[in-house]
Amino acid sequence: MHLSWLAQKRFNQHISRYGITLPQFLALAYMIKERQCAMNQLAEATQQDAATMTGVVDRLERLNLVERRRNPLDRRVVFVIPTERALELVQEVYAAHNVLIAKLFESFEDDELQTLVSLLSRLLDSMHQDDYNATNGSSTDKA
């Protein structure tokens, strides 16, 4: 748990240099991947409630990182679209983050890194399976 907390703390420190928060960065990264998305889609993808996501998008809009546009086919739907500035910012954050990650792992041998990647992949698969089981009402618990 300490490793997860420390990693999140470091990433928060890293992105704060760019004037954004972790929820803002996650929203931007998702929007860039999707090109545009509806507010409810963005909230679901970033695991935020609609009210929180509205605040996140408001702040991103004030920073000229996103634009809101109504869906011409359904005016009730608002799309959020990243600006060119957002794309540049996210690319810059990722590039700097990759340098930081490389420094963290430079003391590891190649075989150690391969073992670590293999173990983390298995852990991730297990976590996805647990999520799937929880969503579909099955359980792997043997209590």
* Sequential DSSP letters for 33-84: HHSSEEHHHHHHHTT--HHHHHHHHHHHHHTTSEEEEEETTEEEEEEEEE-H
**Does any domain span residue 140?**
no
Global pTM reads 0.74
Q: What is the pLDDT of residues 23-33, one digit of tens each?
A: 999 999 999 99
Order of all β-strands in the sheet with 74-82: 37-38, 74-82, 66-71
- Span 36-64, mean pLDDT? 92
Amino acid 3: pLDDT: 82
Domain housing 27 = 11-128
Report the SS3 class of residue 138. Answer: coil
Backbone angles phi, psi at 104, to 5 degrees: -60, -35
For the chain, the domain total comes to: 1
Lowest mean pLDDT among 46-55, 74-83, 107-116, 131-140: 131-140
Quick one: what percent of the chain has pLDDT higher than 70? 96
**Does any domain span residue 78?**
yes
pLDDT grade for 100, boundaries at 50, 70 and 90: confident
**Does any domain span residue 134?**
no
**Does any domain span residue 15?**
yes
- Taking each continuous run of H as one helix and of E as one strand, the counts in the chain are 6, 3
Question: What is the CATH number for 109?
Answer: 1.10.10.10
Q: Which of 101-105, 107-111, 125-129 tops mean pLDDT? A: 107-111
Contact 3, 11 (CB under 8 A): no
Nearest residue to 39 via CA among 24, 26, 29, 27: 27
Residue 18 exposed, middle or buried by CB count within 10 Å (0-12, 13-18, 19+): middle
Amino acid 133: pLDDT: 76
**Does any domain span residue 124?**
yes
